[in-house]
Structure 1
Amino acid sequence: MCVILFSCKSTSNNYKIEKRPTPEIEKAYYQDWASGIKGGGAGYSVYLFFKENTNITIEGIYFKNKYSKIKFQGKNKYQAFVKNNENLEKSNMDDTEPIKKEDKLEKIPFELKGNEAVISYIENEQKRFMKITLNKNENMDLPM
């Protein structure tokens, strides 16, 4: 008789939130955005300002049931654009009946409430996660 045992690594361990993450955030906020074109999309612009740390690489953010890559904007500043399912309506030729794309919530590996977000980063060649709360910035920048 032969018995074979397999051990699978739990996916919950792959997405463990760090209790004491290395990156320190000085400021973090988001703003709503919407395309000026009907059907052009909408979402959130996320702004992150970290204290200096050269030993990490910031990768992405989970926010409002979506994931987006984070882009480096120079000297400890990062930005992400998280799309939502708003402003996706497109009309028929005669503009009488709107056609709306189906709203879908992505399955993300974290349970987030309100303005909570999770940032993924690489430290010592290991992917890590830190949870933060984003403040909503109500100031609207209007184009000139």
Structure 2
Amino acid sequence: MKLMKLFSLLFLSLGFIQCGSTKFDQTPPFKILSAKMTHITGGVPGVSSLDVYLQYTAATKPTVKHLYFRGKKTTAIIEQKLDNPYIVARFKEEDNAERYDLELQKDVKKEYGNTTAKKAEKFPFELQQNEAVLSYEVNGKLRYYKISNIKENTPVRMR
């Protein structure tokens, strides 16, 4: 009986450990042909972005969700450029100072001396500078695919 309890406790604890780590898909329903990133500075002062382009091939259009890259997360979209399909993610970059969410109080007395607070979201992956993780959906299940060797294009300045 004690052996059975020990075995079930061990099995249960391994299950919890497994749930805590993210598994990457080894065979996603698409193939990444090329991965590139470009820094883009716009015509408006303080407006710039880091755009990641993943050229892919697939039998059916994938349902992409987010791209995780360099400590940030943004929505990924599908775009067509010169008859080639791309998964695109645009990370807005802030010039000058970081922007913060305001936490306002209903009580005026509590509002006095209130400062902005940055809400930090823990980044779920440990990645190199040239790596990203794409989240996508298959049959209602969220999956993750790690992309390595993202090439850096020459920065673009818009006028």
TM-score for both structures, normalised by structure 2: 0.64
Aligned residue among 41, 57, 66 for 1:34: 41
Distance (whole Å) between structure 2 residues aligned to residue 12 and residue 55 of structure 1: 30
Go from structure 1 to structure 2 and tell me whether the alpha carbon gap of 1:140 and 1:125 turns closer, same or farther (over 3 Å shift). same
- In the alignment, residue 140 of structure 1 is paired with which amino acid? V
Name the residue aligned to 2:137: 122
Does residue 152 of structure 2 align to residue 136 of structure 1?
Answer: yes
Instruction: Report how many residues are paired.
Output: 125
- In the alignment, residue 25 of structure 2 is paired with which amino acid? E
- In the alignment, residue 146 of structure 2 is paired with which amino acid? K
CA-CA distance at 1:141 after TM superposition: 6.7
Q: Percent identity?
A: 29
Does residue 98 of structure 2 align to residue 101 of structure 1?
Answer: yes
Q: Deviations over 1:87-122 (max 9, x none)?
A: 1x2xxxxxxxxxx33697742211111111000011
SS in 2 for 1:70: strand
Q: Which runs of 5+ in 2 are unaligned?
A: 1-11, 101-117
CA RMSD of aligned residues (A): 3.0
Go from structure 1 to structure 2 and tell me whether the alpha carbon gap of 1:106 and 1:29 turns closer, same or farther (over 3 Å shift). farther
Is contact 1:121-1:127 (8 Å) kept?
Answer: yes
Instruction: Name segments (4+ residues, structure 1) moved above 6 Å.
Output: 102-105
Q: How does 1:13-24 map to 2 (within 5 A)?
A: 13=21, 15-24=22-31
Name the residue aligned to 2:108: none
Go from structure 1 to structure 2 and tell me whether the alpha carbon gap of 1:109 and 1:139 turns closer, same or farther (over 3 Å shift). closer
Name the residue aligned to 1:82: 91
Is contact 1:55-1:124 (8 Å) kept?
Answer: no
**Higher helix proportion (structure 1 or 2):** 2
CA-CA distance at 1:9 after TM superposition: 5.3
Does residue 20 of structure 2 align to residue 12 of structure 1?
Answer: yes
SS in 1 for 2:143: strand
Go from structure 1 to structure 2 and tell me whether the alpha carbon gap of 1:39 and 1:55 turns closer, same or farther (over 3 Å shift). closer
Q: Which runs of 5+ in 1 are unaligned?
A: 1-5, 90-99
- In the alignment, residue 131 of structure 2 is paired with which amino acid? E
Name the residue aligned to 2:103: none
Name the residue aligned to 2:4: none
Name the residue aligned to 1:73: 79
Go from structure 1 to structure 2 and tell me whether the alpha carbon gap of 1:38 and 1:56 turns closer, same or farther (over 3 Å shift). closer
TM-score for both structures, normalised by structure 1: 0.69
- In the alignment, residue 88 of structure 2 is paired with which amino acid? Q
Is contact 1:116-1:132 (8 Å) kept?
Answer: yes
Is contact 2:64-2:76 (8 Å) kept?
Answer: yes
